Amino acid sequence: MNPGTNYQHLLNNLEYLKLKQMMVHLNQVIDFSVQNQLSFVDTLIKLTNYEIDVREQNMIHSMVKVGAFPHLKEVKDFDFDFQPSINQQQIFDFLTLRFIEKNENIVFLGPSGVGKTHLATSIGIHAAKKRTSTYFIKCHDLIQNLKRARLENHLENRLKHYAKYKLLIIDEIGYLPIDQEDAKMFFQLIDMRYEKRSTIFTTNINFKAWDEVFQEPKLANAILDRILHHATVVTMVGNSYRLKDHLAKENE
């Protein structure tokens, strides 16, 4: 047996199998294995770990990209001192993703600028990094997409598309009114996900006023009933986070 020929054969095999990271780190692992007298199995574990680590990172990157998040801010980037109304430990508990295991919802309720979207997105990014299928969409865009699908006669497929995600984030409910036909489509989606998937909602509208948003009290109540049945409502108050620097200058 020719060690040089066998080494080249191994490299060729790794290249053929497209195990790029194992090729790149082969010499390093061989040297480490010889110096530390590793067993064959331990050597293979060390070598394959390089391949797995990169593939995991690529998978995480792909999951986050598919999520269509508006930004990549995480919980660590949130200024809890500026918004003392928020229970920080509750947010950290959301990051355990227990609510997804139990098919529960989260509703962030509060005025514009207090950080609802930031927190909702942060939880979504964390879920995506844990390889949980996650998707972010603004409520208006969701309605427009469903409306377009209805006109093109594939509403059912579009509803199934949004229903499939283990975590769906619907941002800014109530910023624009929703007519009755569109509200029916929205209800269909909420009903399809009810007790099967988790959804995070952000809204600046008190629940009592949702019949004005959906312009049909019975439909609004049916939507709310399914959203809130298994949900944690996080009520946020305080100054606009976006105006924080401006307010600080005024107080100087």
CB atoms within 10 A of CB 88: 13
Backbone angles phi, psi at 69, to 5 degrees: -70, 145
Q: Could you tell me how far CA 198 lies from the centroid of its own chain?
A: 11
Note the maximum CA span of the chain.
Answer: 82
Give pLDDT tens digits for 14-32: 999 999 999 999 999 999 9
The pLDDT, as a whole number, for residue 59 is: 86
Looking at the chain, which runs of residues are DSSP E strands? Answer: 105-109, 134-138, 167-173, 198-203, 231-235
Rounded CA-CA distance 239/229 in Å is 30
3-state helix, strand, coil in the chain (%, to 5): 60, 10, 30
Higher pLDDT, 215 or 104: 104
CA 187 – CA 227 distance, rounded (Å): 10
Structure tokens at 211: 């019949």
pLDDT, tens digit (0-9, with 9 covering 90-100), for 76-103: 999 888 888 899 999 999 999 999 999 9
Quote the distance between the C-alpha of residue 226 and its chain's center. Answer: 21
59 close to 131: Cβ distance less than 8 angstroms: yes
Site of tokens 């770990």? 49
Q: How many residues does the chain have?
A: 252
How many angstroms separate the Cα of 159 from the Cα of each of 70, 176, 185? 22, 21, 8
The domain limits of the chain are 3-66, 75-245
> Are 23 and 15 a contacting pair, CB within 8 Å?
yes
Could you report the per-residue pLDDT of 156-199, keeping only the tens digit for each? 999 999 999 999 999 999 988 899 999 999 999 999 999 999 99
What is the band of 242 on the pLDDT scale with cuts at 50, 70, 90?
A: low
Sign of the Cα pseudo-torsion (55, 61, 64, 68, in order) = negative
pLDDT band at 243 (very low <50, low <70, confident <90, very high): low
Phi-psi sector, 174: left (phi>0), alpha (psi -120 to 50), beta = left
CB 114 within 8 A of CB 236: yes
Percent of the chain topping pLDDT 90: 78
pLDDT value at residue 51: 92
- Cα-flanking dihedrals φ and ψ of residue 202, to 5°? -120, 140
pLDDT at 228 over 50: yes
Structure token pair of residue 167: 């975590």
Rounded to an integer, the average pLDDT of 143-159 is 97
pLDDT score of 56 more than 70: yes
| pLDDT of amino acid 62 | 87
Residue 250 — pLDDT band, cuts 50, 70, 90? Answer: very low
Radius of gyration of the CA atoms of the chain, in A: 25
For residue 68, the model assigns a pLDDT of 95
Taking the C-alpha atoms of residue 14 and residue 207, their distance in angstroms, rounded to an integer, is 59
Which CATH number does 75-245 carry? 3.40.50.300
